[in-house]
């Protein structure tokens, strides 16, 4: 009988400690809607269909950093388990005088041509997150997601030809698109640096996957996030985040 009482007391203590720990965690919301303003740092290359040429985003066209927006929803259905969903629309265009001849999608763009390169991307990302370490002001987790990515790339060059009979314009255009479900996994974290305050945090993630001969996908981000108090509504919590991201997508 005494042994039973001891085990009962230990169980009550453990349950009480777990409940206290959950109450003390600064990140204790069940649902979060996060709005992101972020700077994209693109890199990678696009191969033509059937290996018909390629172009490199940075080397050939010097795509710089650019600002865009996205959204993320996080449902924490258990203390250490989340379902997450994000949407990321990206459109970027750049006009460059190319320094090499580019053959892509059956079209040739000669050295010195002024080429307009446009890249459009829409990515929907459902995922699952497991927090293997949770403390009062920090958690570390493993994120597994599926990037449903549609990407369209277009190159357009217009040359003005002048002769004895007048002038004319010649246009060369190539277009390629790809829809790919890109699974990825990697670490993620969130840290509340201000003691006893859950209104500001630092967070980040690094996910990726190699597809061997078909290419690879790597995405990373780091963010400063602030909790918004909109007319006292706290379900779900609404956060505003400013972050920097780098995406490297190499596709064939």
Residue 16 forms part of a structural domain: yes
Give burial (CB, 10 Å; 0-12/13-18/19+) of 120: middle
Q: By the 8 A CB rule, do 223 and 35 touch? A: no
Residue 154 forms part of a structural domain: no
How high is the pLDDT of residue 14?
A: 46
pLDDT tens digit sequence for 62-78: 887 777 888 999 999 99
Residue 170 forms part of a structural domain: no
The parent domain of residue 215 ranges over: 2-101+118-148+181-251
Q: Is the pLDDT of residue 58 over 90?
A: no
How high is the pLDDT of residue 18?
A: 47
Task: Please give the radius of gyration of the chain, using alpha carbons only, rounded to the nearest integer.
Answer: 25
Residue 187 forms part of a structural domain: yes
Number of domains in the chain: 1
Q: Is the pLDDT of residue 97 over 70?
A: yes
Q: Is the pLDDT of residue 160 over 70?
A: no
Residue 153 forms part of a structural domain: no
Q: Is the pLDDT of residue 151 over 50?
A: yes
Cα dihedral sign, 175-176-179-180: negative
Q: Is the pLDDT of residue 120 over 80?
A: yes
Q: Is the pLDDT of residue 20 over 50?
A: no
| Interatomic CA distance for residues 144 and 140, integer angstroms | 13
């Amino acid at each position: 009988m005494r042994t039973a009482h001891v085990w009962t007391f230990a169980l009550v203590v453990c349950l009480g400690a777990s409940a206290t720990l959950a109450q003390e965690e600064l990140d204790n919301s069940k649902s979060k809607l996060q709005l992101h303003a972020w700077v994209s740092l693109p890199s990678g290359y696009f191969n033509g269909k059937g290996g018909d040429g390629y172009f490199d985003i940075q080397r050939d066209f010097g795509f710089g950093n650019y600002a865009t927006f996205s959204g993320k929803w996080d449902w924490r259905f258990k203390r250490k388990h989340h379902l997450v969903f994000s949407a990321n629309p990206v459109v970027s265009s750049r006009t460059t005088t190319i320094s090499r001849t580019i053959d892509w999608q059956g079209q040739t763009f000669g050295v010195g041509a002024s080429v307009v390169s446009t890249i459009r991307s829409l990515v929907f990302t459902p995922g699952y997150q497991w927090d293997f370490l949770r403390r009062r002001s920090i958690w570390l987790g493993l994120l597994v997601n599926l990037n449903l990515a549609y990407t369209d790339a277009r190159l357009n060059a217009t040359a003005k030809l002048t002769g004895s009979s007048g002038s004319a314009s010649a246009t060369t255009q190539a277009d390629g698109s790809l829809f790919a479900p890109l699974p990825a996994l990697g670490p993620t974290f969130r840290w509340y640096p201000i003691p006893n305050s859950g209104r500001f945090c630092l967070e980040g993630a690094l996910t990726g996957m190699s597809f061997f001969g078909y290419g690879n996908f790597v995405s990373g981000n780091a963010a400063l996030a602030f909790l918004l108090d909109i007319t006292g509504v706290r379900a779900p919590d609404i956060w505003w985040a400013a972050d920097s991201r780098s995406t490297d997508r190499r596709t064939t």
